[in-house]
Amino acid sequence: MSRRHGKPSVPDPAAFPTRPYDLVKEITVALVAVGLLTVVLAAAFSSPDVKPVTLASWSRAADADFTATAVAELGGTSGTAEYGPPYNHTPGAAQKLGPVGLQSAAGVRIPVDTAEDFVLRPLANAPEPPAVRRALATWAAAPASQQQAWTKVYSDALAKSPGGNPVKVAKGDYGPVPVLTARLLDLAGSGALDGQLQADGKFYQTDYTLPLLFLSDGAYLESLARAEHLGGDQWGMMNETGNYPGQAWLWLYTFWYQIEPFKSSGNADALIWGLMALLSLGLMLIPFIPGVRSIPRWTRVHRLIWRSYHRDQEGAVRPKRSGG
């Protein structure tokens, strides 16, 4: 840019060289290249496409585990039945952070009655043969103590049966429990139970809470997770399977579950939540913590990372020696 009479002159655009430029062609080539690259990388590095686990697939693949879980749901002894808030008011089940009961503070927001929601209501809503209707009536007429006695005896008998097979259970006084669980197994195998537990009166069924809770109470879902190295003690990460790392940023959270005292604590979830909250607060306050905020200046790691910049800066300010 030249100056005339002390003012800069504006260059003539026509004085610059020009060449043809096809914007549409460049966009097309870029989209094709990125598309092919995405397909190749997705095929090489994406997560395996594992089919979803449903109550139907569970009941067909592990009918013994499904039946044992159904008995536990009916008797109120499953993990969900004894979980406490936000599903039910189980005494002493809530985790605490010191004297503060964080789990109880939110209350029961998603009430779940495992016997009613997982077994009795689906059977009552489905067209049932006379034997099942009689079994439902017998169960409803019995006191809670009798219901628990039936489920306990039948659960023990299942555990002693070869392979947990309900067909090979020894004869005993199990009340209506075998009829109810056998019919529930048939209902699950047909796929109807999945629909029953997801039915919420809405056009779109997007609430999978009940099926997931039912699945998690059994051993089948955990066995699939452990086979893919996704168990809690296998440092598994959610959303990924096989040899793929998953959400690696979760390692700091899952790390605490592998060491004591968290590993064997019944309050592990609450304790780790409190610890991570404290660590996160400390991370945010690093610029204000004396000593900690000076670590970069003491270690001078930044000079190693930006060594080329500092070398150029030092060379520019170093005085040149004159010869002779």
- For 48, the 3-state DSSP assignment is coil
Low-confidence ranges of the chain (pLDDT < 50): 2, 241-244, 324
Taking a C-beta distance cutoff of 8 angstroms, is the pair 264, 92 a contact? no
pLDDT at 241: 47
CA 278 to centroid of chain Cα atoms: 23
Reported as a single tens digit per residue, the pLDDT across 206-260 is 888 999 999 999 999 999 988 877 777 776 555 554 444 556 677 788 888 888 9
Give the global pTM: 0.71
What are the structure tokens assigned to 277, written together? 């909250």
CA 4 and chain centroid, separation = 71
Helical (H) or strand (E) element with 8:
strand 7-8
Tell me if 57 sits within 8 A of 211, measured CB to CB: no
Report which of 241, 210, 232 is spatially closest to residue 55, judged by C-alpha positions.
210
First to last CA, the chain: 40
Task: Confirm if 2 and 9 have CB atoms less than 8 A apart.
Answer: yes
Give CA–CA dist 213/200, Å, rounded: 16
User: Residue 105, SS3?
Assistant: helix
Sign, Cα dihedral of 139, 143, 148, 150: negative
Q: Amino acid identity of 87? A: Y
Name 97's bridge partners: 100
* Three-state SS sequence of 138-189: HHHHCCHHHHHHHHHHHHHHHHHCHHHCHHHCCCCCCCCHHHHHHHHHHHHH
* Tokens of residue 102, six digits: 């964080």
Task: Quote the pLDDT of residue 324.
Answer: 47
Please return the burial class of 228, using the count of CB atoms within 10 Å of its CB with bins 0-12, 13-18 and 19+. Answer: middle
pLDDT of residue 5: 56
Q: At what angle do helices 144-160 and 63-75 cross, to 10 degrees?
A: 160
The string of pLDDT tens digits covering residues 3-22 is 555 566 777 777 777 777 78
Cα–Cα distance for residue pair 96/64, rounded to 1 Å? 35
